Chain A
Amino acid sequence: MRGATHAKWAVCAVAVALAATACGGGSNSGGGGNGSGIVRSSWGDPQNPLEPANTNEVQGGKVMDMLFRGLKRYNSKTGAAEDMLADKIETTDSINFKITVKDGWTFSNGEKVTAQSFVDAWNYGADLRNNQKNAYFFGQIDGYDKVHPDSGTPSATNLSGLKVTGPLTFSVKLNQKFSLWPDTLGYAAFAPLPKAFFDNHSAWVSKPVGNGPYTIENYTKGSQMSLRKWDAYPGTDKAQNGGVDLKVYTDNNTAYTDLTAGNLDLVDDVPASQLKNVKADLSGRYINTPAGIIQTLAFPFYDPAWNKADSDKVRKGLSMAINRKQITETIFQKTRTPASDWTSPVLGKDGGFQDGLCGDSCDYNPTEAKKLVQEGGGIPGGQVRIGYNADTGSHKEWVDAVCNSINNALGNDKACVGLPTGTFADFRNKITQKKMTGPFRAGWQMDYPLIQNFLQPLYYTNASSNDGKWSNKQFDKLVDQANAESDRAKAVKIFQQAEGVVRDNMAAIPLWYQNGSAGYSDKVSNVALNPFSVPVYNEIKVS
């Protein structure tokens, strides 16, 4: 027995010794938040190859934001589009634009940024043969249907609406009036590209070169990217730290644990399960700011049962039966804000966000809700089945809560149930094939902070993301009118009128605005998220 006790202790000792060597061996990665001033940030493996016109999610967006500067850039606080590389963008008719690029900009490999760098990049992005997922951004430029036809092969390689008129000037012709078009140019898809991108594409993709405040020092696909400050960066928004190490985490819980252990400086996706502890764990180093994302419930207007004369009353009734405040507070721990219009607070008042535009229809009022649903002829089929995808984003919790709220308001236990679909891809398939039989989850993440982007793609007849296939002549007319209006303030006003049409018909039930959240270590300061919920890395200070 004594021998065995010895053995047991020996085992314990070995385990401890091994663990101790583990900590000794692991101290090799970068100097952390001291001296060298490197920000260590969590990251996820980008879903698509890192090309500006092919990056449509936050993880790739982080790299694009550090690596590229376009003609415009969205102010990280107000969301307003401000000139970056653009010297001036002039138009008289909202169709033909003359763009002058500022002199003195170069890519980090020394090549000058010229008008040609933009035109080449945009032509590449629009061409169907390059499989760029953001190609539709160029859809407003004349000649898009030639390089990116809906079916068949492209008959041209260049957008006919783009013409280089000088080393630093080019002209753009749109295929319809769009007065706010220059404001869309802050999106990564419109970034300029160096010649190296076209000459040796695979080498460029494995180590992208841009004109932003950082350069890539090294990139191990799937695990880590080290970006360093580019000292010769000509812009005014120079990096205020020595660089950024993006580290891929499979699970945001691990990233959060690493942050609390002091091995990471910035986690921009705080896991839902930790929201309760985050304030205590990080002693206030937590930000929770609006992002340009709104969650709504869309309706299948192709289903006659949901598209009767009085159906708008049922939709308004359902909207009033949802206790948004309670759900955002209990389920989302205030990382969502109850919605009272169909845009997003990141637009700001001038940009068209109007708090309370929805009015009574978005306030919780169970008695009125019950009355309206009855007046509208009751719920089609006697039951609302809210469609959602079960694999990501923990939608089940809030869908169940919304249903509970509706059931309580209508005094009927079976008035509403959730209808899960296994995977996101399958869910999208059902929507595009018009197979939805009841309201379904619809999220919209803006492409650029413009009121136009929250309305036209979602509610215009046959628009690309009009998932419910809603159609209204008056709305379409107002949108056309707003796009043709050259005065910005007036255009926003008309867009708001169009939004009023959406409200009067309750084309979709607005649920809540989504926030971006981030936690950071005590080594960094001045951390903020931009309207796309991407951390503003170049402004982070390391102490």
Chain B
Amino acid sequence: MGRYVIRRLLQMIPVFFGATLLIFLMVNVMGDPIAGLCGDKQCDPATAAQLEKEFGLDKPVWQQYLTYMGNVFTGDFGTAFNGQKVTELMAAAFPVTIRLTIVAILFEIVIGISLGVVTGLRRGRPVDTSVLLLTLVVISVPTFVTGLLLQLLLGVEWGIIKPAVSTEATFSELIVPGLVLASVSLAYVTRLTRTSIAENRRADYVRTAIAKGLPRRRVIVRHLLRNSLIPVVTFIGTDIGALMGGAIVTERIFNIHGVGYQLYQGIVRQNTQTVVGFVTVLVLVFLAANLIVDLLYAVLDPRIRYA
């Protein structure tokens, strides 16, 4: 097990460098960011040159990348154009997004898995059909439609929630945005669980468990569900990264100042430092989530062993 973890950690190194290099190059391809800083006017050349020097933009790209990476390892993610340290931006943005992600993941786990179990056990019955239909609708409607619709109905028409989340972005305020963010994945989790449960229900070990006279609840939770969760766990694990980085739309609709907001702002203002910094951290989150998922397999299914 230990050796396996070390091997996986070593594999992360090239992935990490490759991903950051790609992002760095992509942001640089967009052109000179200084030119956009002065509105419709031309920046006065002396100030522009001075700014380029300060942000290191006058050097070749490979040199910029090396300096940047060197700084990252000492914990310095650079400075955004508005004079704020990128680490400061991260400290403000990540807690908010992590809260949002936790809410979303909870929705996925609680609602998604329970709906999946219910439908999986009652395959072909009206409940199953209606939930399947419902998930189909959720999957086919884009997030921004669900988001804007819920915001208009709950926020403006009925006045149950505030349309925009406050600066503190507490858990209770993030419930509706979290639901919107989770909606599509939630439908997938339901469908995955349902199929998996329906399939394993006819497996020998379930029949054995029932024949042994175990109570129904114990059969479903300990035997059937535990073995059916492997594909679901994979999905949720990879979804953590996707939710954190992909919340741009939801964060914009509900005015949440999280990672999506900072990334969007960084891209619009061509702020290399912000974009690369945030993406680097997101890459790390992705890698860590993947590793944890793989390790969870062994917990769920004792037949799987890592050497």
Contacts and interface: CB of A to CB of B under 8 A. Distances in A.
A255 B254 CA distance: 9
B278 to A, nearest CB: 13
A11 B127 CA distance: 14
A249 B164 contact: yes
B90 to A, nearest CB: 11
Interface in A1-39: 1, 3-5, 7-8, 11, 15, 18-26, 28-29
A39 to B, nearest CB: 17
B161 interface: yes
Interface string B263-296: 0110011100000000000000000000000000
B208 interface: no
A422 B30 contact: yes
A425 B31 contact: yes
A132 interface: yes
Contacts of B252: 250-251, 254
Contacts of A221: 82, 84, 88, 92
B31 A426 contact: yes
B31 A46 contact: no
A48 B125 CA distance: 61
B46 A28 contact: no
A108 to B, nearest CB: 22
Interface residues on B, range: 35 or more
Contacts of A151: 45-46, 49
5 contacts: A4-B118, A22-B162, A128-B46, A263-B163, A425-B32
Contacts of A467: 42
Interface residues of A, number: 75
B191 interface: no
- Nearest first, the 5 closest Cβ-Cβ pairs linking A and B are A25-B172, A425-B36, A49-B83, A4-B127, A428-B35
A367 interface: no
A23 B252 CA distance: 20
Contacts of A429: 31-32, 35
A15 B30 contact: no
B176 interface: yes
A5 B127 contact: yes
Interface stretch (A314-322, A369-377, A440-448): A440-448
A149 interface: yes
B168 interface: yes
Interface of B: 30-47, 49-51, 54, 81-84, 88-89, 92, 111, 114-115, 118-119, 122, 125-127, 131, 151-152, 154-156, 159-168, 170-173, 175-176, 179, 251-255, 257, 261-262, 264-265, 268-270
B173 A22 contact: yes
B156 A464 contact: no
Nearest to B260: A250
B39 A56 contact: yes
Contacts of B88: 221
A424 B36 contact: yes
A257 B46 contact: no
Contacts of B122: 1, 4
A330 B119 CA distance: 52
Nearest to B44: A136
A527 B143 CA distance: 36
Given A150-B46, A261-B155, A464-B44, A22 B127 contact: no
Contact of B42 (A5, A7, A18, A432): A432
Contacts of B40: 442-445, 465
Contacts of B159: 23, 261
A133 B43 contact: yes
A519 to B, nearest CB: 14
A257 B162 CA distance: 10
Interface in A374-429: 391-392, 422-426, 428-429
A475 B26 CA distance: 45
Contacts of B162: 22-23, 26, 258, 261, 263
A221 B154 CA distance: 29
Contacts of B83: 48-49, 205
B271 to A, nearest CB: 10
B175 A425 contact: no
B163 A24 contact: no
A167 interface: no
